[in-house]
Amino acid sequence: MSKASDTLVVGKVGAPYGVKGWVKITSYTDYPAGIFDYKPWLIRQGDSLKELQVDLWREQGKSLIAKLVGVEDRDAADRLKNLEICIIADQLPPLEEGDYYWRDLVGLKVVTEKGYDLGTIRELFETGSNDVLVVKANVNDAFGQKERMLPFLMEQVVKKVDLAAKTMVVDWDPEF
């Protein structure tokens, strides 16, 4: 079985749906039904991962529901409620050149084109217009910043991403 560090959370098992073992599914994938493209699912129970197979699934109104192999009644379905649905990271599809998974960007060192070390990417989040990098500044930041938020705009702000060197070069004024 894979280690937890090799996995990604792609959704969550919800409440039972009916009495025959169906469960509601909350999907964190861009296209909600895309969660069913990943096989097998790994359900996190405490520190361990248990493999689950989806037998059937369908859209129910605006929700997703699934019948999982071995889950035959409402009680068994209820025991899975609120558990995370994980996949092995290697199941993610390969990306085009210049596209990145957020998980690969977190932890990169961010430096300006002039060589100023802005800090390390702590997280990313979406806004209506573009994604945003949250960069945790170094303790000895010359401008007194604790963190910076930079728009994740390739070519305009982000000039180069080097995953092997764990660095990102940006066109950004360190005073911001």
pLDDT of residue 27: 96
Domains 4-91 and 102-170 share a fold: no
pLDDT at 2: 45
The CATH superfamily label for domain 102-170 reads PRC-barrel domain (2.30.30.240)
Is 164 exposed, middle or buried (CB count within 10 Å of its CB: 0-12, 13-18, 19+)? Answer: exposed
Question: For the whole model, what pTM was predicted?
Answer: 0.71
Summarize pLDDT for 106-116 with one digit per residue, the tens: 999 999 999 99
Please tell me the predicted confidence (pLDDT) of residue 1: 43
CATH topology of domain 4-91: Elongation Factor Tu (Ef-tu); domain 3 (2.40.30)
pLDDT in tens, 5-19: 588 999 999 999 999
